[in-house]
Amino acid sequence: MTASAPTILMPLPHRDFDPSEVALTWRLLRAHGYEVHFATPDGRCGHGDPLMLSGRGLDLWGAVPLLRRLKLMGLILRANGEARAAYAALERDPRFLQPLRYDALDAADYDGLILPGGHWSRGMRAYLEDATLQRCVARCFARNLPVGAICHGVVLAARSVTADGAHSVLHGRRTVALTWAMENKAWQLMRFGGRFWDAAYYRTYEEQAGEPAGYRGVQAEVTRALASPADFVDVPARAAHRFRKTSGLFRDTAADTRAAWVVRDGNYVSARWPGDVHLFAQTFIAIVGADQAARSARPLRQNDSH
């Protein structure tokens, strides 16, 4: 697409997307002058995961009407103040309020694609399983557009296949996604210390009888789509600030990205969870900038060769 400012597509489910991954990425893209277009299955406005916004319902007493407003674990697990403020601003954005339909999307109209995540199966499964959206994602990869995928958004990319149907678009690429260590930790926290009556809240898909633990987890599914298990690139054992990156206790900020872990492979960047979102968005912006510069220079090189 030729435009004065890059235009980025961010498809969303009807409900339950992660508010931090969507709103903070949107805010950072807009701060760089980018246009951000949203899309949902039927063109109705989407809604972020209410538990991640309020924190209500994440504590042991979260099912008790008179007590659910009291938050302890909910204050820790919900989106932080910066993300909640960004989400409040997002709810005033006309393009967010009036998204496009999945079936109206054309990869040729965009300069980049962001695939955010979320985990609550009520809304996320429909997003991850939508064949129309998967075809759009595949076309974006085929055009070598800058693509950023975070958390369960990487699952959507993994399920999007090449035009010949031979492989996932991630086959032959290096990536990261929500790791089983992080997903399992959150699941166990809900089972034994929080939302025990709905312990699968953090599991979009649960294992079937006979399947090993984690088989339906994000890391395992994404890894099965790759050319090699080694292409799933988790934080190395000797990485600087490894505890900060892997404990789940720290989130990055615009000024301090030590807690973040992202993986870049050409025009594709991936990340694990909301705690990576600033470095994720910064890296995506750098990719878009380089891609725009390369596309602008290409006709000049062609003319110079005549």
Would residue 171 count as lying in a domain? Answer: yes
Would you say residue 132 lies in a domain?
Answer: yes
CA distances from 32 to 29, 147, 209, 273 (A): 5, 17, 48, 22
Q: How many helices (H) and strands (E) does the chain have?
A: 12, 9
The number of domains in the chain is 1
Quick: pLDDT tens for 31-77.
999 999 999 999 999 999 999 999 998 988 878 887 778 888 888 89
List the structure tokens of 131.
């064949």
In a domain, 2, yes or no: no
Per-residue model confidence as pLDDT tens for the chain (306 residues):
445 799 999 999 999 999 999 999 999 999 999 999 999 999 999 999 999 999 998 988 878 887 778 888 888 899 999 999 999 999 999 999 999 999 999 999 999 999 999 999 999 999 999 999 999 999 999 999 999 999 999 999 999 999 999 999 999 999 999 999 999 999 999 988 889 889 899 999 999 999 999 999 999 999 999 999 999 999 999 999 999 999 999 999 999 999 999 999 999 999 999 999 999 999 999 999 999 999 888 765 444 433
> How many angstroms separate the Cα of 140 from the Cα of each of 1, 9, 109, 163, 273?
12, 10, 10, 11, 23
33, 292 contact by CB (below 8 A)? no
CATH number, position 280: 3.40.50.880
Query: Which residue reads 């924190």 in tokens?
Result: 55
Residue 56 structure tokens: 């209500």
Q: Is residue 256 domain-resident?
A: yes
Q: What is the pLDDT of residue 306?
A: 35
Neighbours of 35 (CB within 10 A): 17
Report pLDDT for 303.
44
pTM of the model: 0.95
Q: Can you give the residue range of the structural domain that contains 216? A: 7-304
- Could you tell me if residue 1 is inside a domain? no
How many CB atoms neighbour CB 174 within 10 A? 18
Q: Can you tell me which residue has the tokens 């010949």?
A: 164
Spell out where the chain has E strands.
7-11, 15-17, 35-40, 47-48, 100-101, 112-115, 147-150, 262-265, 268-271
pLDDT of residue 298: 72
Residue 92, in any domain of the structure: yes
